[in-house]
Structure formats: structure tokens, C-alpha cells
Chain A
Amino acid sequence: MLDVIDLNIEFHDHITPETVVYDFDLHLDEGEIVGIVGESGSGKSMSALAIAGLLSRKHMKKRGQILFDGVDLLTCSRETLRKYQGNDISMVFQEPMTSLNPVKKIGWQVGESLRIHTALTDDEIRSRVLKMLEKVELPDPEDVYDKYPHELSGGMRQRVMIAAALICEPKILIADEPTTALDVTVQAQIIKLLKRINEKTGTAILFISHDLSVVRMLCSRVLVMYHGRVVESGDVNEVFDNPKEDYTKRLISAIPRMEKLRL
């Protein structure tokens, strides 16, 4: 469904162009959950933003292809891209505090992409939004519908973000570190929620994280990125149990485990 072939991303807002992603390849099937792991500056978020079509076309030069159902998102018209954005490809960000508009009610924000992409009436939108809020397991959707973001906790906000991302029943959900800013107990809940949604709706998930244990729990395949390149990829268990690259080995050995640190 999604094929990224030889994607290279260059920054052009400085005097000398700076390449941040080299030869990035990715294949994502329907209903699959693929993880991208790497440390800060590895290019994992940059690749994800490129797939979501959120990188500026002016300041960043991109080579390669991002094929979604056979259409190249890099070269298609802006109108086509906008049709896909939010409708077929949607995204959840790391920071649930800033990714919701503080002056709009939750219900309005979740329904926004329906208002943009469909011709549904207000009542239909309302009932779809309420159903969605229920699907992300928010207690008392009717109540949450009329609340403002600051009245919700971090975990609830992230659920709202997921609801807003899923309202148009997208084929791909890109989740960029969706649990990093959350408390541990909430983190586990959100991961489980994503897994359940994937099983129920068949939405493919591209999961970006620096946390390998989370990736292992959620994803079936994984790409390891380092300095803008994919250094290793494959089945999650295969990569974890039998890492081939030095960097992957280092990354895996650095995962905090329930064991005493030895000097």
C-alpha cells in the first residue's frame, strides 16, 4: 500500500545544503504495524514527516518516491496531497499539550477533518465523533465532547489526538513518539489502545520511537535508523534477538532492563 523508495531529504535553508535522510526504503502493507527506532537526530521523524507530506516543498529537496496506492506523494499536485492528508494518512504527535488548539472544544477538533473531507451534516459529524471518542476508550464521551483541552489529563489528550487522527478511517496512522511525554502507567495504556485499534479497524501504523521496548511490544517489523540511514531492518524478533549491525547491538544493550547496572 505504501512504498517509499530511495528517499533522500536535503535541507536548503542554509548556505550549504544538508542531507538528513539517505536512501530510505520502506514498505508498509495494509494492517501492518512497522516501527522506526533511532536516537534524536537519526532522521526518523524527518522521514515520517515526509511521508505525511508535512515537509516544506520549498526549503527541503526530496529525491526518491513515496508511493501511496501507486501515486507519488512527492510529485503529485498539492490538491491531491491535501486529499490524502488527514483522510488516508494521518498523524499523531509527541506533545499532547501543544498539538490541540487550546481555544476549541474537543468535539470540534476531532470532527474537523470530517468537516474538511466529507459533506456530512453537523448531526452526523457529532455522532461519528462521539463513536470515535468511545472507540479510543475515553470515559463519558458526551462529557468530553464539550470540554477544552486544558481540562483533560495528558493521557486523555493523547487519546483525543488519536481519535482526531482516526476519525476519517485512514489507511495509515503515523505516530511520532506518541507516548514519550506521558506517564508510565498511561504509556502502557496508549500502546495497548493502538494495538487494539489496529486489530479492529485494520489501520496500518507507522510507529516512530526511541524506546525499543515499546517498539518490540507493538510492531511486527522494525527499521533501525542511525545518522540518516536505515542500518538494519526486518522482523522485530529477528532484529532484537539476532542483531547484525554494531549500532543495533549497542542500542539493544542500552535498553534499561530490570537488572542491576554493572560497571
Chain B
Amino acid sequence: MNGSFDEKKADTDVILKVSGLNAYYRDRDKAGIFTGNGARKQILKNVSFEIRSGEIVGLVGESGCGKSTLAKCILGIVKDHDGRIEHASTGAQMVFQDPYGSLNPAKTVGWILEEPLRIRGELKDPDRNKKVSEMIHLVGLDDSYLTRRPNELSGGQRQRICIALALMTEPKLIIADEPVSALDVTVQDQILKLLLKLNRELGIAILFISHDLKVVYSVCSKVMVMKSGEIVEQGTDDEIYHDPKHPYTKQLLASVISA
């Protein structure tokens, strides 16, 4: 490990530090009075890494390798874990894979975007509206979308709304779980550019989770490769893509189909 993993760099830069994380999963639906607590399975094994402010870190791996569980641990949704997760700032936010499931179909876009502000109760009504409008312009849409409902929007527009929603609470870190894999290629490109723009302009760090090595390479400066709950290799994009050490990384790279 070298470069950005250098210990000499000021630690104040680190906005997320995960060390020795083990996470477990217990099937809650199978739990009951008669059936006990359900089986406990270990999903993550000894995961350690850091994210510094303004970085885009890629996390690649195949389905079921524990990528999403790691995201949920960081966000505090999965609570059954040991090891340390240290946040420098509060409230990392998340952009989900399926833009059709991540917006409440019963509410208008305006209501959805205003909700985090309402919950926090920080701003008064007119200020809230102003902030919502600011945010929707930031993601490349306009006020006319505020009165619409999610099912009237395309996948790309929904994903923009999801990004605006994640930005609403001004987080330092956004976790994007396969944010473009449900979208058409031309739309994918636009959403990736939007994420990159927000990273450059607002300095938001992004943990970018994806199974697509090409997409990860296109936006990330650091990459972690995960297999069966373990991070088998991590390093800068150059190290991972041009000088892979672990056989699994090599296998992944070999299966990339390029045009």
C-alpha cells in the first residue's frame, strides 16, 4: 500500500475508517417464538479500509459477495457486526441501485426532497422550498419536476432525484450502490458525469459500489476488490487495473468485454 494510503498524510482528511469489520446476517423472517433466532451467517470477514474527503473509491465484486452488506454496515442499517467503523462526520447518505424502488411512489418529488429537512426541523418553510429548488437544479432538473410523482419520470430522472435526495442533508460521504446498472447506457453516462461533477464541485467523497469494472475505472481513483466477504486487494486505480496481484482480480479483469 502506498500513495493515498500513506500514513504521513494528515489524519484529519479521513472521513471514514473501517477496521477489522465482521458482519453477520440473521434471517429475521424465520425468527419466532418457536424457531429461535434463525441461523447467523457471517457475511463480511475482517474488512479494513479508509476513505478520505473528496475521494471516489470503487468497490467491485460479484453479486452476493457482501458489497451491499458493507454499505449497510457503514450506514448503520445492519447492526450485527463487530470491528470499528469511525465516521468523521455524521450521516453518510445512500444512492440505491433501483431508481424505481427508492422513491416513495405515493408522494410527489417535492415532498420527497423536503422530507429530510422536515425530519431535522432545521429550516422554516420558505427556506426549505428554496433549498429543494437549489438541489434539483444542481442535479440538472428544474422546479417543474417538484409536483410530479416518481412514476411519471424516467429511470435517469429518478436517479437524479435520488442523488438530490442524498445531497439534501449535505453529507460528506455518499454511498452509491450500483447507481447506474439499472439504466440505459446513454443515461448511465449522464449519471456518472453528474456524480463526478458533484464530487469535483462539492468535494463529496463517494463509495462507488459496482460489478462493472469499466464503470468503476471511469470514475474512481481508488479501488477495492471484494470476494466472499473479504477485500482481497485494494489500491489505486493504476495498481489494480494495470498491475493486479490477486488471482481473483486478474480473473475479473480478464472477463471484461471491451468494444
Contacts and interface: CB of A to CB of B under 8 A. Distances in A.
Interface of A: 39-40, 154, 183-185, 187-189, 191, 210-214, 216-217, 240, 250-261, 263
Interface in B208-227: 211-215, 217-219
Contact of B257 (A214, A240, A261): A214
Interface stretch (B70-78, B169-177, B192-200): B192-200
B69 interface: no
A191 B185 CA distance: 19
A157 to B, nearest CB: 13
A217 B200 CA distance: 35
Given A185-B62, A250-B186, 6 more contacts: A183-B63, A183-B211, A257-B218, A258-B217, A263-B193, A263-B200
A254 B217 contact: no
Interface of B: 62-63, 155, 184-189, 192-193, 196-197, 200, 211-215, 217-219, 241, 251-252, 254-259
5 contacts: A40-B184, A185-B252, A188-B254, A258-B213, A258-B241
Given A39-B186, A256-B218, A183 B62 contact: yes
A210 B184 contact: yes
Given A213-B257, A261-B196, A39 B185 contact: yes
A252 B258 CA distance: 12
A212 B197 contact: no
B68 to A, nearest CB: 14
B251 A258 contact: no
B188 A254 contact: yes
A145 B229 CA distance: 31
Contacts of B197: 263
Contacts of A260: 217-219
Contacts of A187: 255, 257
Given A184-B256, A185-B251, A256 B200 contact: no
Contacts of A40: 155, 184
A39 B187 CA distance: 10
- Candidate in B62, B189, B259 with the most chain A CB atoms within 10 angstroms: B259
A263 B196 contact: yes
Contacts of B155: 40
Q: Which 4 pairs of residues, A with B, have the shortest CB-CB distance?
A: A39-B184, A256-B214, A213-B259, A188-B255
B218 A254 contact: no
B251 to A, nearest CB: 6
A96 to B, nearest CB: 12
A185 B186 contact: no
A184 B187 CA distance: 20
Contacts of B63: 154, 183
Given A259-B217, A259-B218, A261-B193, A184 B255 contact: yes
A185 B257 CA distance: 10
A217 to B, nearest CB: 5
A252 B259 CA distance: 9
Nearest to A184: B255
A216 B196 CA distance: 28
A254 B241 contact: no
Contacts of A257: 214, 218, 258-259
A253 B254 CA distance: 22
Nearest to A180: B181
